[in-house]
Chain A
Amino acid sequence: GESVGLHLPTLSVQEGDNSIINCAYSNSASDYFIWYKQESGKGPQFIIDIRSNMDKRQGQRVTVLLNKTVKHLSLQIAATQPGDSAVYFCAENGGGKLIFGQGTELSVKP
C-alpha cells in the first residue's frame, strides 16, 4: 500500500546551521503534501504545504522542495534555532486521510 517514510529518524544540528529533513513517498498520484512540527507534549503544528504542481515553496525560514521524479520531499530550515527542536512529520493527503511518515527528531545544539 501507499507509505510515506523518512530517511533519518534523528538529526542533530548546530544552532545557526541549516537543517534538511527528507521524506520519501510511494504513491506517485499523491497531490498534496504537508510538513508538521510536533514539540514534546503538544499536537502537530502545520508548518508548510505544497501541491504536486509546484517544485518549491517558501515560508518564513522554511522551504519545502518536491521532486516528483524520485518521489522525494524535503524540508529546509534556515538558521536553525533551539526552538526548532521537535519531531517533524511529512504527510501525504488525499481523500480525507493523512498518511504520515515515521518522523524525524531534530535536536539543535547551542
Chain B
Amino acid sequence: DTEVTQTPKHLVMGMTNKKSLKCEQHMGHRAMYWYKQKAKKPPELMFVYSYEKLSINESVPSRFSPECPNSSLLNLHLHALQPEDSALYLCASSQGLGERGETQYFGPGTRLLVL
C-alpha cells in the first residue's frame, strides 16, 4: 500500500479564518513533507519532517504552521492567509531522508482557495 491520504479535498477560507489541512500515511514512513503547487507549475517544497521533528523549513511565512503529532500524521495549520496562497497543497512521505535519495509518495492534495 503506497497511499497517502489528505483531507479536506477542497477548502475555501477567508483571510481572517483559521483552518487546518491533514495528511495521513500508514506505510511506516518516517519522513513527511508539505508542498505547495500552483497551476501548471512543479510542486515547491515547504516543510520536511523526519522522525516527527521539523528537519527543513523552506523559509515559509509564519501564517503556515506545520505539526507532526505522530509518525503517521502531518498537519498544516493556516491562519491569516492571503489570496496568493491559493494553491494545491500536497503531502508526501518517504521511508526516510536517505542521503542517496528516497522515493516520495504523494497524496491527492487539498485544493485551497483564499478569498
Contact = CB atoms under 8 A, between A and B. Distances in A.
State yes or no: do A and B come from one complex: yes
Interface of A: 31-32, 34, 36, 41-46, 49, 51, 87, 89, 93-98, 100-103
B101 A94 contact: yes
11 contacts: A34-B103, A44-B43, A89-B43, A93-B103, A94-B100, A94-B101, A95-B99, A96-B55, A98-B43, A98-B45, A101-B42
Of B55, B101, B104, B111, which is in contact with the most chain A CB atoms at under 10 Å from its CB?
B101
Contacts of B101: 31-32, 51, 93-94
A101 B109 CA distance: 19
B70 interface: no
7 smallest A-B Cβ distances: which pairs? A32-B101, A100-B42, A93-B101, A43-B106, A96-B97, A44-B106, A43-B108
Contacts of B55: 96
Contacts, number: 63
A78 to B, nearest CB: 23
Contacts of A97: 45, 48, 56
B20 interface: no
Given A103-B40, A103-B42, A98 B104 contact: yes
A51 B100 contact: yes
Given A31-B100, A96-B97, A46 B48 contact: no
A31 B111 CA distance: 32
Contacts of A41: 111
Contacts of A32: 100-101
A42 B50 CA distance: 25
